[in-house]
Amino acid sequence: QKEVEQDPGPLSVPEGAIVSLNCTYSNSAFQYFMWYRQYSRKGPELLMYTYSSGNKEDGRFTAQVDKSSKYISLFIRDSQPSDSATYLCAMSEGGGATNKLIFGTGTLLAVQP
Amino acid sequence: NAGVTQTPKFQVLKTGQSMTLQCAQDMNHNSMYWYRQDPGMGLRLIYYSASEGTTDKGEVPNGYNVSRLNKREFSLRLESAAPSQTSVYFCATAELGGGNTIYFGEGSWLTVV
């Protein structure tokens, strides 16, 4: 079993829909949680970063962490065609450079105009 | 501001050939990383350098070597390429103690035939 599980999709939604992307994990020591967006043929770019449990909002994006359920989510409101990309969750135990990030395999999202 | 620059972007190698992937960053970050990304496997850490002068193995180091040339540059070498090393390679950087907010380059597509 992988440490981080993520549904690969693809997930197809109409423009304006609310999108929910999720990851589950098995390591209870994870404290730092991130979401990356990766466009085709590009490198991942950091979208959201959360420490421990709780919610964080940034514009149309909301990240949620539920450590008791070992479950994290990314919500996208009013989705746009430009949101079409692969979304990767990532997490680590500590905040230092030697604390390795563990990535999910990514969920491919397509927002239809 | 170029961020993280990788060269070459595309390369085809024959089995047994050697090559070096170059990475340079202008973000003044201490830590640098090399990942590979494969379908269904996600991003996996090959090697990392927490700071200038140090390197350490990641999850999948076999068949690779690295050199942290200076604070800006971190190279990845394949001494004898194998078809299993066909992948997309990403260089990344991070600030020490930055909660592992990692910034990626654009990627290098490598095919070993």
Residue B1's pLDDT band, with cuts at 50, 70 and 90, is: low
Distance (Å) from the C-alpha of residue B88 to the closest C-alpha of chain A? Answer: 9
**Nearest-by-Cβ selection for B99 from A95, A98, A105:** A95
Residues 6+ apart with CB under 8 A from A68: A53
CA–CA dist A90, A66 (Å, integer): 14
Predicted confidence (pLDDT) per residue in A21-34, tens digit: 999 999 999 998 99
Do A9 and A108 form a contact (C-beta atoms < 8 A)?
yes
Q: Is the pLDDT of residue A95 over 70?
A: no
Give contacts of A 69-108 with B, CB under 8 A.
88, 90, 92, 94-101, 103-106
- Per-residue model confidence (pLDDT) at position B102: 84
Do A111 and A15 form a contact (C-beta atoms < 8 A)?
yes
- Residue B98 has a CB neighbour count (10 Å cut-off) of 18
Predicted confidence (pLDDT) per residue in B90-110, tens digit: 999 987 655 567 889 999 999
**Nearest-by-Cβ selection for A97 from B4, B50, B103:** B50
Distance (Å) from the C-alpha of residue B46 to the closest C-alpha of chain A? Answer: 11
Q: Is B54 within 8 Å of chain A by CB?
A: no
Q: Is the pLDDT of residue A96 over 80?
A: no
CA–CA dist A22, B33 (Å, integer): 26
Predicted confidence (pLDDT) per residue in B34-74, tens digit: 999 998 888 999 999 988 889 999 999 999 999 999 999 99
Do B76 and B66 form a contact (C-beta atoms < 8 A)?
yes
pLDDT, mean over chain A: 92
CA–CA dist B27, A25 (Å, integer): 31
Q: Is the pLDDT of residue A104 over 70?
A: yes
Whether A43 sits inside 8 A of B99 (CB atoms) is no
Which residues of chain A are within 8 Å of residue B94 when distances are taken between CB atoms?
Answer: 97
Choose, out of A100, A107, A108, the residue to mutate when testing the contact with B (most B CBs < 10 Å): A100
Do B102 and B95 form a contact (C-beta atoms < 8 A)?
no
Structure tokens at B88: 């997309």
Predicted confidence (pLDDT) per residue in B74-90, tens digit: 999 999 999 999 999 99
Which residues of chain B are within 8 Å of residue A103 when distances are taken between CB atoms?
Answer: 42-44
Do A84 and A71 form a contact (C-beta atoms < 8 A)?
no
Structure tokens at B4: 């993280």
Which residues of chain A are within 8 Å of residue B36 when distances are taken between CB atoms?
Answer: none
